[in-house]
Chain A
Amino acid sequence: MSVSAVFVLDLKGKVLICRNYKGDVDMSEIDHFFPILMQQEEEGLLNPVLSHGSVYFMWIKHSNLYSHALSKRGTSSYSDCLCVCVYQVFTEYFKELEEESIQDNFVVVYELLDELMDFGFPQTTDSKILQEYITQEGNKLEVAKTKVPTTVTNAVSWRSEGIKYKKNEVFIDVIESINVLVNANGSVMSSDIVGSIKLKTMLSGMPELRLGLNDRVLFALTGRDKGKTVAMEDVKFHQCVRLSRFESDRTISFIPPDGESELMSYRINTHVKPLIWIESVIEKFSHSRVEIMVKAKGQFKKQSVANNVEVRVPVPSDADSPKFKTSTGHAKYVPEKNLVVWTIKSFPGGKEFLMRAHFGLPSVENDELEGKPPITVKFEIPYFTVSGIQVRYMKIIEKSGYQALPWVRYITQSGDYQLRTNT
């Protein structure tokens, strides 16, 4: 059921900090982790759950730290989830999670580990709440001040009481990421939209909010049928949203956490036309050169503009002497990533641009087999959502009866946007 111990290791496998929760595992077991990791990596069998004897390591790696949950028995695999949470909490505390930041703050880290879990049962992993009673400057604590914030055990564990703002406002960001996988022959293999509604709440007291979207299921329920509706495949909510309420009548009602938070995310599985369409011809003449021709087309409304478009085209690792020609924007060779990055600051809808690149190849062939990395595209289109989702209203009710303003912003951006190439 539960986690026996948590470790944070540096890249060489040295233990930076650890916390034994249950005492049923020998803490020296961690010494086995690194050799196993190395061995499995070599064999190409690496996966996020490793075992040594009867001990299981669930680990994740970020930048240059490994963080771990270690367990002896049939642990829930939420441990991996937990590692991610631990990581998130640490990052919120220390901004960058690095070897130094752990050492610099080891007292706080111990305190955090103490609150995050008890006897291996995860307890509170919400960093906002933790920050209320475990502060960075631990020594500032005075006896009078240290009370358990009611939020820790409250039904509303994500918002403290007594918050005050002069001006009550909510900023709503609707961000949609487009994931596309296009085959080499130009057919769209899979595409979906992952949307996310983010809030920046600056509201006093304990406001009760209700968010209205043009949700197809809701409109079908209420029998209204005005304008465009959106069918969301799967919706995930922040824990503040009353799930049973949503389940029964699709109402999104909640008491928001203070400050920034992700209220909900959704997935739409409809077939989306790739907003930026790429046609590429990559011709490789062994021992002499590579010719690349890339055509990018904006397949969205003329009024809209895609910003900061980046088309990343893979080139062989042994290519040299790049030459470029672009109809707009500029191209750059990034040898350490074996990429040509073609940047277009502003890309209006319906337009078409061209980029040609020429590389030399050494006469001695590279023995190593190279993969076929796809072309990837990054972009951002403001004031527009592909799915057509709209915030119809945001009702804010607080017992003091203040008026608050909701602000809405829409952005569409690239997610996992891959186009396979022929070579």
Chain B
Amino acid sequence: MTDSKYFTTTKKGEIFELKAELNSDKKEKKKEAVKKVIASMTVGKDVSALFPDVVNCMQTDNLELKKLVYLYLMNYAKSQPDMAIMAVNTFVKDCEDPNPLIRALAVRTMGCIRVDKITEYLCEPLRKCLKDEDPYVRKTAAVCVAKLHDINAQLVEDQGFLDTLKDLISDSNPMVVANAVAALSEIAESHPNSNLLDLNPQSINKLLTALNECTEWGQIFILDCLANYTPRDDRESQSICERVTPRLSHANSAVVLSAVKVLMKFMEMLPKDLDYYGTLLKKLAPPLVTLLSAEPELQYVALRNINLIVQKRPEILKHEMKVFFVKYNDPIYVKLEKLDIMIRLASQANIAQVLAELKEYATEVDVDFVRKAVRAIGRCAIKVEQSAERCVSTLLDLIQTKVNYVVQEAIVVIKDIFRKYPNKYESVIATLCENLDSLDEPEARAAMIWIVGEYAERIDNADELLESFLEGFHDESTQVQLQLLTAIVKLFLKKPTETQELVQQVLSLATQDSDNPDLRDRGYIYWRLLSTDPVAAKEVVLAEKPLISEETDLIEPTLLDELICHIGTLASVYHKPPSAFVEGSRGVQHKRLPARAGSGESTESPDVGQSVGGADAPPAVIPSQGDLLGDLLNLDLAPPATTVPAVPASMQMGAMDLLGGGLDSLMGDESETHNIHQRMESPSPQSLSEYSHPELGGDIGGSPAIGAGMGAPPAVMPASLNAAVGGGLGDLFDLGGGVGMPTGAFIPPKTLWLPAMKAKGLEISGTFARRSGVLQMDLSLTNKALSVMSDFAIQFNRNSFGLAPAGPLQVLTPLTPNQTIDVALPLSTVGPIMKMEPLTNLQVAVKNNIDVFYFSCQYPISILFVEDGKMDRQVFLATWKDIPNDNEAQFQIKDCHLNSDAATNKLQSSNIFTIAKRTVDGQDMLYQSIKLTNGIWILAELRVQAGSPNYVLSVKCRASEVSQFVYQCYELVLKN
């Protein structure tokens, strides 16, 4: 007879019946009844009403029955806390039972009963069990400390359990050591700063010894704990590695992964020229490969981790390409991961094989897999230059198959290949054009349109092709619409005579008939450009594009390093930082790879990139399709950053102010703004009349939509372009853009700098501001004396950033008693420099007809943030890596209730520029750059967790002393 019969009782009055049976005198009957109760509990029936009756069965010498009763208690104690107390006595008694199994069972169960009243009674038995003679009881008690800590942390600390737990690390039984380590690690997680695990060479030695003897799971606890230790030098690092390497031969793949984690981390400290370093690299490959012969689920986990390892140290697996070849019966998730790793490992040496495989995959039936395979061919072309030609011909072969999704995917990647190798493979355009009709996916259509626009001069019927797309303009997705607009403008600039009508058509479609703000705004920009200065338009729209970088979707180096420290955890499977898995309240420890001791380099990832990719530039991250608008605009508009003329500060005033915010947020790249803006400011009327087409001009004037949008009468435009363009466009963005215009940089309120009693009646309060790129000191001078004051002058002492008055203090009329006068003193940053303490301290001397007075004040560092502080993304990544980790400072900004977009806008108005935004699991990471007047760059990462008012700010700067001030500035700006 089996237990399943217990599931089948469904008679009425069941609870009542059970109650009677539970109270029966016969042992067998009692046990049967308890089993029935548990069975009901398992299927989700509420049997909590039987609580007292079940608890009554607790005092039994039948172990099986006891276990069942305990199980029941764990489930229902929480809902019946008062009754649970009844069980305490039995628990306490069981903790002293001669049978160690029962002692352990009791202490284990008590820990699972999350009722405050019970925990108080738990302390004494637990203390005894921690010192029990039987290791089985001790190991259970060790875990129980962690349980108790989870319920009542204070109690555990007060009772000194933590110290007892620490003592258990030196226990003679390895299993106890392992559980103590696990419990301490768990507790330490909620106390990031407590030095609970106090790892030192002695304790590490003990752990390494226990490692050899404990069970597989215990080994994992110890290895995970070891990974948190930072060795003092490379010698210690090497000796730990030597003792951990044998674990790579363990049959349990979780042990292997944990060992790999420790090795990957400590390897960081070994000098690369060391023989042992090379040996270790060689030792890592075989176990990683073997992980791939496990169950598919484990393979998936292994592959996700290998993906990280390959990015960090590609040399480990560079010869193992073959094992990543996809098998027919692999589950799809394994296939996709393998493919990803194949691309990362692709190099000149193995590209032929890889391509043959990819081509094979592209003829499979699984659509997702096929798409990814086709995409992979494109990525190979971009990564391995020598293979580009082969890749292109492979792609052409695939296009010939006419399988719809293959063709579309191929066109998308060919676009990327064009961008990487311009003017090399254009001969294939004809083939692409043949497939125009079969494209039905937005991405493929957009790619095709981009190709047509980009190579309009070589495609005879480009205008016809684009016109055909135009017919269903409003049914297209935004992506396609934007691309079509740009492509037609390109076409117009290349063949102005034949395509006027077309361009007008698309401009009016985009501006009048569309309610998509992005599309409309881009339409207006083009229209304006074309009508004011076609030469400029040409320079902007047909600007040379930067080549796309070769590695795509790499993980940012800092994140990668952190993930390497979490190999074998969820973080490494999801490729998201562990903080993404922790609820807001809980402190997060950021793990970093240790710095290499002795040698000067702080991180070595750039080297790795070079040695493998063969490229000089460190691999950069291309944003994925998420950042659609930015992407498209970059594609069309971004001129190479170097060709952007530096705009002198003075020129940025006026129209710039109005344009700045709107255009920036619209275009996502400051350099373009400058370029466009500068052109707009100095258009020559001649060139306009030479180029502009009467109809076009008329259209602008006549179009009611524009008239309304512009705010200024169109007629004004030719007359005083300079002002009108600025004003008009400004209005335009206000109205149509829907983009929040920043209201300007935050200016702190004036503070009292010099009280009247110290300065013979002169009171000075003031503040600092940066207005349109000009530094100003705003002063309020008040005469609190009885006589008139005159002959004011001001001087600064040398200071950290060379601030100096740029002109005299303009107090024109004498200051009569009780009069206050506000003065704005322009400042320059070319004065003499001396490092002050604190850094932003400024000593000022003010003279008047009475005397000279001295005071000192501090200026917010934000006034030093210049307007061209937007760094190129690639440069940002490289710089971030380049700055040693020691220079990184982290701050918490509390109680800030802005969302990330609002914060971006706010910060932007203070010249803190957001370069990229990444969203991971509801957490926005804003990457920001700031440039100081003296040319120092400050890089920052701002983490904004949706729904949490606390931001985390990481600041990296070569001059790390400014970090603190930058943080203060963030606080000020964000909270005002």
Contact = CB atoms under 8 A, between A and B. Distances in A.
A416 B573 CA distance: 26
Interface string B49-83: 00000000000011110011001001000000000
Contacts of A170: none
Most buried by A among B35, B150, B249, B356: B249
B224 A1 contact: yes
A43 B286 CA distance: 34
A83 B331 CA distance: 18
A153 B71 contact: no
Contacts of B301: 48-49, 77, 80
Most buried by B among A59, A74, A82, A190: A74
A106 B215 contact: no
B327 A181 contact: yes
A352 interface: no
Chain B contact surface mostly = helix
A233 B286 contact: yes
A73 interface: yes
Contact of B569 (A76, A181, A418): A76
Contact of A235 (B44, B249, B366): B249
Contact of B42 (A17, A123, A372): A17
Interface string B452-468: 00000000000000000
B224 to A, nearest CB: 7
B250 A146 contact: no
B723 interface: no
B217 interface: yes
Interface in A91-132: 100, 103-107, 110-111, 114, 118-119, 121-126
A163 interface: no
Interface string A286-308: 00000000000000000000000
B170 interface: no
B247 A119 contact: no
A189 B216 contact: no
B254 A100 contact: no
A119 B146 contact: yes
B354 to A, nearest CB: 11
Most buried by B among A20, A123, A143: A123
A372 B370 CA distance: 13
A97 B189 CA distance: 37
Interface in B58-112: 61-64, 67-68, 71, 74, 99-102, 104, 108, 111-112
B570 to A, nearest CB: 5
Interface string B1-44: 01110110000000000000000000000010001001100101
A326 interface: no
A239 B215 contact: yes
Contact of B323 (A107, A147, A184, A190): A190
Interface string B281-316: 000001101100101111011000100000000000
Nearest to A416: B327
B221 A243 contact: no
Contact of A236 (B221, B290, B331, B574): B290
Interface stretch (B357-365, B481-489, B742-750, B779-787): B357-365
A303 B67 CA distance: 60
B568 interface: yes
Contacts, number: 265
Contacts of A47: 300, 333
Given A146-B101, A246-B249, A267-B290, A107 B3 contact: yes
B143 interface: yes
B379 interface: no
A254 to B, nearest CB: 12
Nearest to B31: A139
Contacts of B333: 45-48
Given A118-B140, A153-B139, A246-B249, A44 B332 contact: yes
A141 B111 contact: no
A110 B568 contact: no
Contacts of B300: 47-49, 80
A78 B568 contact: yes
B251 interface: yes
A336 interface: no
Nearest to B403: A369
Contacts of B147: 119
B904 interface: no
B286 A155 contact: no
A243 B286 contact: no
A350 interface: no
Contact of B186 (A1, A80, A82, A234): A1
Chain A contact surface mostly = mixed
Nearest to A49: B573
B231 interface: no
Nearest to B221: A121
Given A83-B297, A139-B64, A234-B289, A119 B3 contact: no
B328 A371 contact: yes
Contacts of A246: 246, 249
Interface string B205-242: 00000001111110011001000000000000000000
A418 B328 contact: yes
Nearest to B44: A15
Contact of B2 (A105, A133, A141, A420): A105
Contact of A121 (B42, B217, B293, B570): B217
B371 to A, nearest CB: 11
A46 B356 CA distance: 27
Given A49-B574, A247-B246, A148 B100 contact: yes
A75 B574 CA distance: 11
Interface in B169-223: 173-176, 179, 182-183, 185-186, 189, 212-217, 220-221
A300 B246 CA distance: 36
A244 B297 contact: no
Contact of B568 (A76, A192, A194): A76
B369 to A, nearest CB: 8
Given A103-B4, A239-B216, A243-B247, A1 B252 contact: no
A32 B246 CA distance: 41
Nearest to A99: B4
B581 interface: yes
A56 B570 contact: yes
A233 B287 CA distance: 9
Interface string A236-251: 1111001110110000
Contacts of A22: 150
Given A74-B569, A157-B175, A118 B108 contact: yes
B572 interface: yes
A152 interface: yes
Nearest to B210: A155
B2 A110 contact: no
B596 interface: no
Contacts of A54: 581, 583
Contacts of A237: 249-251
A13 interface: no
Nearest to B572: A77
A238 to B, nearest CB: 6
Contacts of A147: 99-101
A342 to B, nearest CB: 19
29 contacts: A22-B150, A45-B368, A46-B331, A48-B300, A49-B570, A56-B581, A74-B571, A74-B581, A76-B220, A76-B569, A77-B570, A78-B220, A104-B2, A106-B42, A110-B67, A110-B68, A114-B71, A121-B143, A122-B217, A139-B62, A143-B99, A148-B104, A192-B323, A233-B286, A237-B250, A239-B216, A243-B212, A247-B246, A269-B289
Given A81-B253, A374-B328, A416-B327, 20 more contacts: A24-B150, A48-B301, A60-B295, A71-B570, A75-B570, A77-B254, A104-B3, A110-B68, A119-B146, A121-B182, A153-B136, A189-B325, A192-B323, A234-B286, A235-B249, A236-B249, A238-B251, A239-B215, A247-B246, A247-B249
Closest 8 CB pairs of A and B: A78-B254, A234-B286, A104-B2, A243-B246, A47-B333, A153-B135, A48-B297, A122-B217
